[in-house]
Every structure is written in structure tokens, then in C-alpha cells.
């Protein structure tokens, strides 16, 4: 496949790697061509098979103690979290279709597209399709994401206060998901419009 605005590509993968056997066929075929990548300055990160780089390794978040489905009740162990956007919202494959996990709230929604259609849409209209506006703001403020980083947003987008503006900083993927999954757990079951207090610990 042809990629544009690529910041990182995973190391070449053995096309016969046993790790590919556990993946949906379309994803396995993609990783045989290119072993994951970061595009659009961090707007899209498609994970690969790369144990030496835990932030990029699909196995880290697909299975084991750090698996995404252990952090978010709406996911199951068969869901394959193949990618994320600039604010660590996750894209996963379920029954041959791409779904989105909103990492602040733990909500999931079907995008009703195949993996190939998802990648095509991301290439054709990355800013709108991947909702890259926070990244554009961060870049306009002089910031840049390194491979393995996403944006930490404060106050979270799911709060009313975020309408007044947010501050953004680059953090590691693991740090972001640890915070967001804990935040979503604390929100779980609260009625809409419930006042919350976020305590910032130095």
C-alpha cells in the first residue's frame, strides 16, 4: 500500500510470523506489507508486530496484563485494537468491521467500514475523519508528537469546561491509556451532567 505523511514505519516483518495467525486476515495482510506506521504527525498510529517496541507492538495491547479489553468493559478479548488517533481514542476490529473506542468515556461505536475503507478514508480526509483538530492546535502552539506519543487533553473533552478551551501536552501512549481508562471507570454509571472534580497530582 502507498502511505503519505509517514513519520514512522515498523521494522520489516517475517511474512510467516506466527503472531499473524491470531489476527483477522485483512490486518495480517496489511502487516505483511508494512509492519505498522505513524501518519499525519501522530494523527494515526497503526500498530505492528514489534516486541522490541512495546508502544508499537499490537500484542502488548491485544493480550496479556496490558490488554485493552482488561481496561474497558465494553471490549472483549476478541476485539483487535489495531490503531489509535492523536488523543488515544482507539480503533478496533470486531466481526470484520472497524469500531471506535472513546477512551475518555469507554463508549464504543461502529464506524461501519472495513479496514481497507477505514485506511482509505483516513488518507483522503485525515483531519476530519481522524478528528485531528487537537493535533493541529498543538502544532500551531509549537508542539510536535514523537512516535509513541499522544496528546493529553485537559480538561477532558467530555466535560463542559472543555468548550472554553483545552491545554495539550505530549505523553507516552501507556501513560495516556492508564489515565484515560481510570478516568472512564470513575465516570461509569454517573448520570449525564453530574458535576465532577478532577484533582491534579504533581
Domain assignment of residue 152, given as a range = 6-187
Q: Where are the alpha helices (DSSP H) in 18-164?
A: 25-33, 58-62, 68-71, 115-124, 126-129, 133-140
Q: Is 193 a domain residue?
A: no
Q: Is 104 a domain residue?
A: yes
Tally of structural domains, the chain: 1
Q: Which residues pair with 153 in a beta bridge?
A: 168
Q: Is 195 a domain residue?
A: no
Tens-digit pLDDT profile for residues 83-124: 999 999 999 999 999 999 999 999 999 999 999 999 999 999
pLDDT tens sequence for the chain (202 residues): 678 999 999 999 999 999 999 999 999 999 999 999 999 999 999 999 999 999 999 999 999 888 999 999 999 999 999 999 999 999 999 999 999 999 999 999 999 999 999 999 999 999 999 999 999 999 999 999 999 999 999 999 888 888 898 999 999 999 999 999 999 998 776 555 555 555 554 4
Amino acid at each position: 500500500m502507498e502511505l503519505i505523511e509517514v513519520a514512522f514505519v515498523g521494522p520489516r516483518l517475517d511474512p510467516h510470523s506466527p503472531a499473524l495467525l491470531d489476527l483477522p486476515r485483512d490486518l495480517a495482510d496489511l502487516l505483511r506489507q508494512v509492519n505498522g506506521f505513524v501518519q499525519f504527525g501522530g494523527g494515526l498510529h497503526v500498530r505492528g508486530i514489534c516486541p522490541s517496541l512495546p508502544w508499537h507492538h499490537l500484542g502488548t495491547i491485544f493480550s496479556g496484563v496490558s490488554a485493552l479489553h482488561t481496561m474497558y468493559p465494553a471490549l472483549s478479548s476478541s476485539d483487535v485494537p489495531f490503531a489509535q488517533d492523536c488523543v488515544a481514542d482507539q480503533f478496533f476490529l470486531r466481526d470484520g468491521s472497524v469500531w471506535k473506542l472513546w477512551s475518555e468515556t469507554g463508549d464504543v461505536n461502529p464506524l461501519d467500514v472495513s479496514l481497507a475503507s477505514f485506511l482509505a478514508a483516513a488518507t483522503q480526509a485525515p483531519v476530519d475523519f481522524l478528528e485531528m483538530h487537537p493535533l493541529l492546535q498543538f502544532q500551531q502552539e509549537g508542539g510536535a508528537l514523537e512516535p509513541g506519543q499522544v496528546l493529553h487533553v485537559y480538561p477532558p473533552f467530555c466535560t463542559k469546561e472543555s468548550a472554553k478551551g483545552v491545554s495539550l501536552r505530549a505523553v507516552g501512549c501507556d501513560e495516556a491509556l492508564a489515565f484515560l481508562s481510570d478516568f472512564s471507570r470513575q465516570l461509569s454509571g454517573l448520570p449525564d451532567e453530574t458535576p465532577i472534580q478532577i484533582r491534579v497530582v504533581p
